[in-house]
Amino acid sequence: MSNIAIAEQSLKPSKQEGKQEGKQEERLAEDFPLAQLREAFPALRQKNEQGAAIVYFDSAASALKPREVIDALADFYATDYANVHRSAHWLAERSTERYEGAREAVRQHLGAAKACEIVFTRNATEAINLVANCWGDLLARDCRRKPALAISMMEHHSNLVPWQRLAARCDSELLVIPINDAGEIDSEAYENLLKTNDVALVALAHVSNVLGTKNPIAELVATAHRHDTLVLVDGSQAVPHAPVDVRALDADFYVFTGHKVFAPSGIGVLYGKEQLLEAMPPWQYGGEMVERVSFRQASWNSLPWKFEAGTPPIAQAVGLDAALKFVRRIGIEAIEKHEQRLGEGMQQRLQGIEGLTLLGVARARAPIFSFALDGLNAFDLATLLDKQGFCCRAGFHCAEPLVRHYGLSGCLRVALALYNSEQECEAFVEALAKARTMLA
Ligand SMILES: *Cc1c(COP(=O)(O)O)cnc(C)c1O
């Protein structure tokens, strides 16, 4: 508790002090209560088997959990927990309030118009599969039209394979929007592809989990809508790093996954415009998603429960609520600024290393860096770095076609988050140089 209390006091940046000219940058660094924030993450106090302090650079795979999220889960199980929606007793009522309260928190966080537009799933993958299945049913009904689907070259497998399957189901095509050398979506090719094809839906990452590229989603959506194309945005890597407003973006569907934004694993979110979700048939059948049931037939519950068959991830939703509160308390803008500074420093350091190829140098980016070094095996590098406490990831990062596009069969990824520091980045680059001489 004491850590949280300290963090809470110091998380509000002191506005009056920040105005001295020329001191802008330094102030920013001081304003971000990094030390207290790190205190809030118990996992950061650990050392590895070799006795090296942990440096967690794998937040794009999953983020660490702050104490208050861990506590919220334990408290919920100890007090308000029961199954939701079903029972008449007071405990179930409290549990339902907490679960639906989490939905309302997500609605606010995403700027959605209505809570019924927020569907809880297991993760982002399930949210995308839900759309590919249920909206896909509508599309498949009209198979004579054979409309194409499109994705960008930088999509995560979760935002690629479901569309591949749907295209096959519709006897149609999955088109791929190319990226430029900087790792940005080629907007001319994008518009051209939409102009020359009947594309029913385009699925785009808000932020790439490999390149770090932050795509200009509002623009890309507007272009798509001019061509009567729907857009699903995969916000898995955006929600932890930047403010998101689904209405300002005008996204038709927007998904993210809880565990990357400091929430427990096992919870994901699908936002969909009401009239789209309303038109879509359900995909999983059972308790909770029904209104009336006889032995011969059933009718469906209203939104969003129509898409939430069976006992939902109740505690995970409560944990997500706590995680979003945590993010809001620090302020997503403050997080973004801290990460931007950190990221710029990291990028400069990495680009200063001879023989290092950075995948993606987009102007707008999140602090996620994938690279190859001298043709050294990324797994060997990661293993050596691991011994020194650095947790990073090697491989395709669930985007094999993208990594292969760069002529690689694996790369090393450093993914920063709000709890990372300048010193950690510095130490990493030194450790990388050491690892390189050991492998050479
Ligand atoms: C992690 C990730 C996903 C999948 O998230 P899950 O929690 O595994 O479902 C999808 N897209 C992107 C961009 C991701 O980074």
Q: 133-164: per-residue pLDDT in tens?
A: 999 999 999 777 789 999 999 999 999 999 99
Residue 413: Cβ within 10 Å count: 26
Does residue 56 register a pLDDT over 90?
yes
Domain ranges of the chain: 90-327, 332-439
Q: Which two tokens stand for residue 3?
A: 């850590």
User: Two tokens at 186?
Assistant: 């080629």
Task: Give the pLDDT mean for 341-368.
Answer: 96
Mutate to test the pocket of ligand 1, among 156, 213, 396 (most ligand atoms within 8 A of CB): 156
Exposure string (b/e) for 67-92, b if CB count within 10 Å is 16 or more? bbbbebbeebeeebbbbbbeeeeeeb
Half-sphere exposure of 243 (CA within 13 A, CB side): 12
Q: What is the pTM of this model?
A: 0.93
| Single-letter code of the amino acid located at 289 | M
Q: What is the position in ligand 1's atom list of the atom closest to the CA of 62?
A: 1
Any ligand 1 atom below 6 A from CB of 125: yes
| Residue 88: pLDDT band with limits 50, 70, 90 | confident
For the segment 17-38, the average pLDDT, to the nearest whole number, is: 61
pLDDT at 171 over 70: yes
Mean pLDDT of 171-188: 97
What lies within 8 Å, CB to CB, of 310 at 6+ separation is 284, 286, 287, 288
Cis peptide before 13 (omega within 30 of 0): no
Residue 23 scores a pLDDT above 70: no
| Position 11 pLDDT exceeds 60 | no
Is 257 near ligand 1, meaning CB less than 6 Å away?
yes
- Dig out the tokens for 256 from the structure: 């993210």
Q: 107 CB under 6 A from ligand 1?
A: no
CA distance 243 to 271: 15
In CATH, the number for domain 90-327 is: 3.40.640.10
326, amino acid identity: F
Angle at 207 (CA atoms; ends 213, 251), nearest 5 degrees: 130
Among 203, 71, 216, smallest CA distance to 129 is for 203
- Report the atom number in ligand 1 closest to the C-alpha of 258: 7
Establish whether residue 124 lines the binding site of ligand 1, counting it when its CB lies within 6 angstroms of any ligand atom.
yes
| Beta-carbon contacts of residue 392 (< 8 Å; ≥ 6 apart) | 57, 58, 382, 385, 386, 412, 413, 414, 415
| pLDDT at position 12 over 70 | no
Enumerate the active-site residues. Answer: 398
Q: Give dist(CA 207, CA 218) in Å, integer.
A: 13
Place of tokens 């790093």: 241
Q: How many Å lie between the centroid of ligand 1 and the Cα of residue 87?
A: 34
| Whether the predicted pLDDT of 360 surpasses 70 | yes
Is the fold of 90-327 the same as that of 332-439?
Answer: no
Residue 30: predicted pLDDT: 58
Q: What is the pLDDT of residues 390-411, one digit of tens each?
A: 999 999 999 999 999 999 999 9
Task: Tell me what the pLDDT averaged over the chain comes to.
Answer: 92
What pLDDT score does 374 carry?
87
Find out whether the beta carbon of 129 lies less than 6 Å from any atom of ligand 1: no
Q: Is any ligand 1 atom within 6 A of the Cβ of residue 95?
A: no
Superfamily of domain 332-439: Aspartate Aminotransferase, domain 1 (3.90.1150.10)
pLDDT of residue 19: 40
Question: What is the best residue among 130, 152, 398, 400 to mutate for testing ligand 1's pocket, by most ligand atoms within 8 Å of CB?
Answer: 398
What mean pLDDT do residues 3-31 have? 43
**How many angstroms separate the alpha carbon of residue 201 from the centre of ligand 1?**
19
State in Å: Cα 416 to ligand 1 middle.
Answer: 16
Q: Say yes or no: CB of residue 152 within 6 Å of ligand 1.
A: no
DSSP 32-77: S-HHHHHHT-GGGG-B-TTSPBPEE-BTTT-----HHHHHHHHHHH
How many C-beta atoms surround the C-beta of residue 149 within 10 A?
A: 26
Instruction: Point out the least confidently predicted range of 324-333, 350-359, 431-440.
Output: 431-440
